[in-house]
Structure 1
Amino acid sequence: MSARDWFLLIALSTVWGGSFFFFEVALQSLPPFTVVLGRVSLAAAALLLIAWARGASLPFSAAIARRYLVLGAISNALPFSFIVWGQTQIPSGLASIINAMTPIWAVLVGLMIRSDEGLTPGRALGVLLGFAGVAILMGPDLLRQLDPYSLGQLSVLGATICYGFAVHYGRRFGDTPPLVNAAYMLTAATVWLVPVAAIAEQPWTLSPGLSGWSALLALSLLCTAFAYLLYFRILASAGATNMSLVTFIAPVSAITLGTVFLGERLGPTAFTGMGVLFAGLAIIDGRLTRWINGGLKRSRR
């Protein structure tokens, strides 16, 4: 990757890692579904406005609506809700580490639907290490008791399962411009969340205050609308393999922000589990294996 690609990748990782921090801030004055609804609705409005300003074609039909309702549910409405509720029980840094399980589930879902990516010995080892890392992270708490803290971890893990399905379902939209995809997907997520938030929390009765509104704006405009634009730009210039590096970098910014501004402290078990999980991700990514093989070939010369 070029220096510019690296800069954009680190910027995106910082922004997406920051979403866990802003979730935590927003939750101090707003309930979970309202936070998620604010994020997706404001981001959808921003992206639709950008698409309209650029003169992008915005086709609509019942078939298109059905497809995006599915994508919006598994890409945004469900996983965002799982993560936000989980963060009512666990620190934002821990949530960001568990969220790194997404590529592991993407591999498993790909096997289940028999995609063109097979399970090589290296990918199998990576999956096993991923689950070993999660076992180290969550196992001690789950073995003691199934309390709200443990349920919070399981909730965030549920979000990564949704993302694993979304990775493969999203491939059906490859012919649609990325900006339109993101705008329609977030609009569909808004459609799902409006009745849920209205029934469960009555958002119109809430007063989030300056901190709540600031967190919502940061989540929607910075961590969602801007992040998706950045994501598709990097994807076009650096490719999907390099794009996967976001998984490694995002938890760093989330943990840093949580430690500095929220006073969160993660124990050694969390960092041990993160190390094992990241080792599994590195093997699945293939970059580490290629680097080792390249070093071995050079040493034999």
Structure 2
Amino acid sequence: MSTARTRTTATAVASNAEAAPAERASGSAWVTTQFVLAGVVWGASFLFMKVALEGISPAQVAWTRIILGALTLGALVLLRREKMSRSLVVWAHLTVLGLTFCVIPFLLFSWAQQHVTSGVASIFNATTPIMTAIMAWLVFRVEKLRLLQILGIGVGVLGVVVIMAPWQGLAFDGSLVAELAILGATASYGFSLAYMRRFVSNTGMSALAFTFGYIAMAGVVMALLTPFLVLTPVRLDAGIVVSLLLLGCLGTGFAYVWSQNSVRAWGPTRASTVTYITPVVGVVLGILILGETVSWNEPVGALVVFLGILLAQDRVRIGRRNDEGTDAAASVPRQR
């Protein structure tokens, strides 16, 4: 009997050992799928905004996407009976995130896309990891950067200069101001990501509940601003309505949850590489659907920005370190 039990136990242990890698692989594949979907949806969001602006104002675009995103996530929270935090401090932080991660950048992006192509907007959006590194290093002091990482920030800034092409002459017209507005939006994103790490890294809420929390607070802010921002005439057609639904329900709803799941599974550094996907999707859709054109300096500048991101995120190794074991351990995604 003892031998039989031992064999049964050994078989069960072996089965569990075999199942665990399969479960991890399945979970990793699902996270990867969400990561790619978020990149594709966010890349397409620049097209959705451009189409929506043909019939409604920039403020109305931002208002609509936030309200639709909050309603979509709110319905999911109710269906899944997610637990929300009861801490007033947490909700105060979520309100800050609602402003800096949604309200401010959405308004800036929507206004800027009146003056620049959707492709250019998506390329500038790729500066978000550079902005995040700056905020985490200089503002919140949650990261210490090595010299090579600081060099990466400088390379990223150089890439932005290449995209803006100052040798063509800088006139403070709508295009230049719009590009600066987009950089303000990505700086706001960077602030928000560093703020999350500093103040709300562990709220006890799921990714869905946490994401709904700050988008809901952004919705409250927009609802209060309704009389001042959105009570202007609109012209709607099928294309505009579909674009707004996709921008709100997908781009400001599901995609934010997918991204949060990636952050929790892989960590913020690896998850932020979603910015490699969005400009490609944004540029391709702009060319194919809107007939936009791309100047040589824009993709070249984007490549320089990507190099800066790799350096700033410490993904480029020059020489070999003595603490290889430490580096290898640090490269393993941390489950949160």
Assess same fold via TM > 0.5. Answer: yes
Q: 1:85 aligns with which of 71, 95, 111?
A: 111
Q: Does 1:230 align with 2:258?
A: yes
Q: Could you tell me which amino acid in structure 2 is paired with residue 215 of structure 1?
A: S
Shift in Å, 1:190: 1.7
> 2:158·2:304 contact (CA, 8 Å) conserved in 1?
yes
> 1:122·1:283 contact (CA, 8 Å) conserved in 2?
yes
Q: 1:281 aligns with which of 300, 305, 309?
A: 309
Q: C-alpha offsets along residues 15-53 of structure 1, whole Å, 9 cap, x if unaligned?
A: 111111111111111110111111011110111111111
Structure 1: gaps (5+ residues): none
Structure 2: gaps (5+ residues): 1-24, 325-336
Partner of 1:245: 273
Cα separation, 1, equivalents of 2:144 and 2:92? 30
Shift in Å, 1:116: 3.5
Q: Does 1:187 align with 2:216?
A: yes
Partner of 1:213: 241
Report the count of equivalent residues. Answer: 293
Q: Does 1:269 align with 2:326?
A: no
Q: Could you tell me which amino acid in structure 1 is paired with residue 212 of structure 2?
A: A
> 1:33·1:197 contact (CA, 8 Å) conserved in 2?
no
Q: Could you tell me which amino acid in structure 1 is paired with residue 217 of structure 2?
A: A
Q: Could you tell me which amino acid in structure 1 is paired with residue 268 of structure 2?
A: A
Partner of 1:98: 124
Point out the structure with max Rg over C-alpha.
2
7-16 or 256-265, which deviates more:
7-16
Change (3 A) 1:139 1:236: same
> 1:26·1:216 contact (CA, 8 Å) conserved in 2?
yes
Q: Does 1:255 align with 2:289?
A: no
Q: 1:199 aligns with which of 228, 234, 239?
A: 228
Q: 1:164 aligns with which of 190, 206, 209?
A: 190
Partner of 1:128: 154
> 2:170·2:176 contact (CA, 8 Å) conserved in 1?
no
Cα separation, 2, equivalents of 1:25 and 1:189? 23
Q: C-alpha offsets along residues 130-180 of structure 1, whole Å, 9 cap, x if unaligned?
A: 110111112428843100011111110100111111012123222232212
TM-score normalized with structure 2 length: 0.80
Change (3 A) 1:142 1:52: farther
Cα separation, 1, equivalents of 2:142 and 2:115? 38
Cα separation, 2, equivalents of 1:6 and 1:57? 26
> 1:37·1:193 contact (CA, 8 Å) conserved in 2?
yes
Change (3 A) 1:58 1:268: same
Cα separation, 1, equivalents of 2:32 and 2:87? 39
Partner of 1:177: 206
Q: Could you tell me which amino acid in structure 2 is paired with residue 244 of structure 1?
A: S
Cα separation, 1, equivalents of 2:224 and 2:54? 22
Q: Give 3-state SS (helix, strand or coil) of 1:289's partner.
A: coil
Shift in Å, 1:5: 4.5
Q: C-alpha offsets along residues 162-208 of structure 1, whole Å, 9 cap, x if unaligned?
A: 111101212322223221221121111122223444324415x4242
Cα separation, 2, equivalents of 1:65 and 1:103? 26
Change (3 A) 1:153 1:142: farther
172-181 or 100-109, which deviates more:
172-181
Cα separation, 2, equivalents of 1:3 and 1:69? 33
> 2:207·2:261 contact (CA, 8 Å) conserved in 1?
no
> 2:60·2:229 contact (CA, 8 Å) conserved in 1?
no
Q: Give 3-state SS (helix, strand or coil) of 1:28's partner.
A: coil
Q: 1:72 aligns with which of 98, 113, 127?
A: 98
